[in-house]
């Protein structure tokens, strides 16, 4: 078994690394998740990425963190938020890619893998857009399957449409994903009836 820092880099922080993350974060615990704009109101240009207790963590357009939900937005210490994100990112990403998530995370979300080490996350955090993307995965009932799908689509967009504008890459990936669903539906449409017919023929 490796050191806590090494386990974190492989995607499994372990209890000791999680305790270290909380200590660095000065007791702040962040849960990356969907933040309803009706319950936690904020300007449309702000990015809400999760909860801290009953309040929401949101970033303004200058990437400054705030707590929102009670009165005026309360500014937060960016260093404390970044440190607390160590546990939050690890918990959410490990659901998508259990057993080692940093490589898949970097490829799927197009971030530098070196920035996903425990020490770098605690020091510099992640862009709000990446935190939002990760937060939008936390309510999945099949997180590991979703992680595989995200990685496959990212790879397709990057490789199959290489050289195109990013928007064009993902438009092509969306079209291909729709075609892939149709392919799967065709393959499975009459599978049960075919299996029953074959079973009956064997019995006869």
67 CB-near residues (< 8 Å, 6+ apart): 52, 55, 56, 57, 58, 73, 74, 76
> Has residue 14 been placed in a domain?
yes
Is 201's pLDDT higher than 60?
A: no
11 and 97 housed in the same domain: yes
131 and 178 housed in the same domain: no
Q: Which two tokens stand for residue 203?
A: 């019995």
Q: What is the mean pLDDT of residues 41-54?
A: 97
83 and 176 housed in the same domain: no
Q: Report residue 26 CA to chain centroid gap.
A: 24
> Has residue 153 been placed in a domain?
no
Helices assigned H by DSSP within the chain = 4-9, 14-24, 78-96, 102-109, 118-124, 128-135, 143-159, 166-188, 191-203
- Per residue, what are the HEC states of 13-38? CHHHHHHHHHHHCCCCCCEECCCCCC
- pLDDT single digits (tens) 131-184: 999 999 999 999 999 999 999 999 988 877 666 677 777 788 888 889 888 998
> Has residue 192 been placed in a domain?
yes
Q: What is the mean pLDDT of residues 27-37?
A: 95
* pLDDT attached to residue 32: 98
Q: What is the mean pLDDT of residues 13-26?
A: 41
> Has residue 22 been placed in a domain?
yes
85 and 176 housed in the same domain: no
pLDDT band, residue 190 (cuts 50/70/90) = confident
* pLDDT attached to residue 25: 44
Strand order in 74-75's β-sheet? 31-32, 47-52, 55-59, 65-68, 74-75
> Has residue 151 been placed in a domain?
no
Domain that holds residue 199: 160-204
Distance CA 160, CA 164 (A): 10
52 and 135 housed in the same domain: yes
Distance CA 7, CA 71 (A): 40
Is 28's pLDDT higher than 80?
A: yes
- pLDDT single digits (tens) 117-128: 999 999 999 999
> Has residue 99 been placed in a domain?
yes
108 CB-near residues (< 8 Å, 6+ apart): 147, 150, 151, 154
Angle between helices 143-159 and 78-96 (to 10 degrees): 100
What does pTM read for this prediction? 0.78
Q: Which two tokens stand for residue 41?
A: 């109101």
121 and 192 housed in the same domain: no
pLDDT band, residue 23 (cuts 50/70/90) = very low
């Amino acid at each position: 078994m490796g050191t806590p820092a090494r386990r974190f880099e492989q995607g499994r922080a372990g209890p000791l690394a999680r305790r270290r993350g909380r200590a660095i974060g000065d007791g702040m615990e962040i849960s990356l998740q969907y933040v309803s704009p009706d319950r936690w109101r904020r300007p449309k240009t702000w990015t809400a990425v999760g909860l801290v207790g009953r309040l929401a963590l949101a970033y303004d357009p200058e990437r400054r963190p705030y707590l929102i939900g009670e009165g005026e937005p309360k500014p937060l210490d960016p260093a404390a938020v970044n440190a607390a994100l160590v546990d939050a990112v690890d918990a959410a990403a490990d659901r998508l890619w259990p057993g080692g998530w940093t490589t898949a995370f970097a490829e799927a979300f197009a971030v530098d893998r070196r920035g996903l080490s425990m020490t770098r996350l605690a020091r510099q955090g992640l862009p709000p857009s990446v935190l939002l993307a990760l937060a939008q995965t936390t309510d999945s009932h099949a997180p590991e399957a979703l992680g595989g799908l995200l990685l496959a689509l990212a790879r397709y967009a990057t490789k199959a449409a290489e050289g195109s504008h990013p928007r064009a890459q993902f438009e092509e990936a969306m079209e291909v994903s729709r075609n892939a669903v149709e392919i799967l539906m065709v393959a499975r449409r009459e599978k049960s009836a075919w299996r029953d017919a074959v079973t009956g023929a064997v019995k006869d």
